Amino acid sequence: MVNIGLLGFGTVGQGLAHILNNKSEATPLKDINIKKILVRNLEKERKVKVSKDKLTLNPQEIMEDKEIDIIVEVTGDVDLSYRLVKEALNNKKHVVTANKALVSKHFEELSLLAEENDVYFLYEASVAGGIPILKPLKDQIRVNNISRLRGILNGTCNYILTKMTDEGLDYGQALREAQGLGYAEADPSSDVKGLDTLRKLRILSTLAFGSAIREEDIICHGIDKLLALDIKLLKEREMVIKLIGEVVEVDGGYQAIVQPKAFKDGSYFTMIREAYNTVSIEGDFSGVLNFYGPGAGMYPTANAVLTDIIDCVMNIQDKKNPLGNRKLENKNEDIRGKYYIRISNWKDYEVDLGGVIEEKVFEDDKDFAIITKEVRLSDILNILEGVENLALVNLED
Ligand SMILES: NC(=O)c1ccc[n+]([C@@H]2O[C@H](COP(=O)([O-])OP(=O)(O)OC[C@H]3O[C@@H](n4cnc5c(N)ncnc54)[C@H](OP(=O)(O)O)[C@@H]3O)[C@@H](O)[C@H]2O)c1
């Protein structure tokens, strides 16, 4: 029997307990036992029932239990989990986590610590929830050099954009609908401003390119400034907007960005709808590989956590630190492309777009929208400095 110490018993933690309860005869799940569970509130009503004596408010009851082999961290609390995950690895307990904020912030340190202690540090559920992507990615980088990685990595944003595209909803209406369905948090800012996508991109790209690509190395533009007008104007040109996280390798360096991007309607990324996610990687031998599935949710996420637990139990993955030691240079300054730009209250600003306009798309007393020639993003950002209410959408070639 393998004993688990579960840190957190919310959506993912209860999903895990539910799957184990319902598959208690299946191999190797029958060998997995949740011994203790850390929570904040012992009295809280929970959908999945466990005996009360398993719950604790004291993390040390779990950390110091010598019979616990694997710590499964699903609290979402970065500071607490950082302390406990380090303690667990140092005490030679395997760690499985779904916490992208934790992994993104401390990726190099925790990966190294796990290797030094010859234990697993696995985090499949932290990126694209239910999609098995990190294990396949680790397999692919043994053979391939990855030249490009990109994805739709945030279900809330994709849901909002799908509703705006299909039903012509404004951003606020679509966000409220996403909140009503439980996709978006009460405070959705880390989703809609792109931070959640950025953290997942940081994890994926650091693995894929064998070089530390940290949060601060990634340009980040969210979807919170988009209007129904932007969606409509691009739709008239048969283009659909998605929030894309993307890293490409360019001669000796990389470019990393999270941004709204418009694709030809009917192309691959436009088929990823509602709260679904996708990750696309391009290897020199594999070609383009597209991974698709649910980006979040109780059972898909718990399922991803369980696959990591099983790898620990069966000793299947390599315990060697998977992070490479290349030192790729950040070349974000050279990012180029064509952009759709809309400025609201444009008469209040003295913006000189003259040299970059390829086509004027819309103009009334309030809004002004253009499509640029191929330009450097940094030049455009300089021109637009100080303009608050605007949309900037990269156009796929
Ligand atoms: N939900 C998803 O679909 C999804 C998908 C991918 C990744 N993730 C990641 O998985 C993790 C868990 O997400 P979730 O949706 O399950 O969160 P959640 O529903 O908010 O549950 C968090 C659980 O952790 C406990 N907890 C939080 N802070 C704690 C603290 N300081 N001390 C003790 N217990 C604490 C809470 O205790 P109480 O119940 O007593 O309050 C609760 O049981 C997060 O890192 C999230 O980003 C979630």
- Residue 182, pLDDT > 90, answer no
Ligand 1 center–CA 79 separation, angstroms: 13
Ligand 1 center–CA 11 separation, angstroms: 7
- Residue 232, pLDDT > 90, answer yes
Q: What is the pLDDT of residues 266-297, one digit of tens each?
A: 999 999 999 999 999 999 999 999 999 999 99
264 is catalytic: no
Q: Please give the pLDDT value at position 25.
A: 85
Q: What is the pLDDT of residues 346-383, one digit of tens each?
A: 999 988 998 999 999 999 999 999 999 999 999 999 99
Give per-residue burial for 44-60: e unless 16+ CB within 10 Å, then b: eeeeeebeeeebeeebe
Q: How much is the average pLDDT of 65-87?
A: 97
**Given the DSSP bridges, would you call strands 276-283 and 329-330 parallel, antiparallel or unpaired?**
unpaired
Nearest to 257 by CA among 243, 269, 240: 243
Mean pLDDT lowest among 124-128, 134-138, 297-301, 313-317: 313-317
Percentage of the chain beyond pLDDT 70 is: 100
Q: Please give the pLDDT value at position 27.
A: 83
Sheet holding 94-97, edge to edge: 55-56, 32-38, 2-7, 68-73, 94-97, 121-122
DSSP-assigned beta bridge partners for residue 277: 293
Pairwise CA distance, residues 301 & 293, whole Å: 11
Quickly tell me which residue has 């059972």 as its tokens. 299
DSSP-assigned beta bridge partners for residue 294: 276
Q: Please give the pLDDT value at position 217.
A: 98
Q: How much is the average pLDDT of 74-83?
A: 97
Q: Please give the pLDDT value at position 172.
A: 95
Q: Pick the residue whose CA is nearest to atom 27 on ligand 1.
A: 75
How many helices and strands, by DSSP H and E, does the chain display? 12, 18
Nearest to 156 by CA among 193, 121, 122: 193
Q: Please give the pLDDT value at position 28.
A: 87
Dihedral over alpha carbons 81, 87, 92, 95 (to 10 degrees): 0
DSSP-assigned beta bridge partners for residue 37: 6, 55
Ligand 1 center–CA 303 separation, angstroms: 15
- Residue 104 belongs to what H/E stretch? helix 100-116
pLDDT band at 26 (very low <50, low <70, confident <90, very high): confident
- Residue 254 belongs to what H/E stretch? strand 253-264
- Residue 24, pLDDT > 90, answer no
Q: Class assignment of domain 140-294+326-330? A: alpha beta
Nearest to 372 by CA among 338, 334, 336, 335: 338
Give phi and psi for 291, each to the nearest 5: -110, 135
- Residue 185, pLDDT > 90, answer no
Which tokens sit at 122? 């696995």
For ligand 1, is residue 24 a contact (CB within 6 Å)? no
Catalytic residue among 35, 93, 100, 200: 200
For ligand 1, is residue 92 a contact (CB within 6 Å)? no
Ligand 1 center–CA 98 separation, angstroms: 9
Q: Please give the pLDDT value at position 58.
A: 98
For ligand 1, is residue 5 a contact (CB within 6 Å)? no
For ligand 1, is residue 74 a contact (CB within 6 Å)? yes
Mean pLDDT (the chain) is: 96
Q: How much is the average pLDDT of 127-132?
A: 96
For ligand 1, is residue 47 a contact (CB within 6 Å)? no
Q: Please give the pLDDT value at position 184.
A: 81
Q: What is the pLDDT of residues 301-355, one digit of tens each?
A: 999 999 999 999 999 888 999 999 999 999 999 999 999 999 999 999 988 998 9
For ligand 1, is residue 337 a contact (CB within 6 Å)? no
Which CATH number, 3.40.50.720, 1.20.1050.10, 3.40.605.10, 3.30.70.20, labels domain 2-122? 3.40.50.720
Give per-residue burial for 314-344: e unless 16+ CB within 10 Å, then b: eeebeeebbbeeeebebbeeebebbbbbbbb
For ligand 1, is residue 99 a contact (CB within 6 Å)? yes
CB 260 within 8 A of CB 392: yes
Q: Please give the pLDDT value at position 199.
A: 98
- Residue 263, pLDDT > 90, answer yes
Ligand 1 center–CA 147 separation, angstroms: 34
- Residue 244 belongs to what H/E stretch? strand 239-250
Instruction: Name the residue of 55, 301, 305 to mutate for ligand 1: max ligand atoms within 8 A of Cβ.
Output: 301
How far CA 238 is from CA of 20, 104, 297, 361, 365, in Å, comes to 46, 36, 31, 14, 25
Angle at which helix 195-209 crosses helix 134-143, to 10 degrees, equals: 30
- Residue 208, pLDDT > 90, answer yes
Pairwise CA distance, residues 376 & 333, whole Å: 8
Q: Please give the pLDDT value at position 166.
A: 97
Q: Please give the pLDDT value at position 316.
A: 86
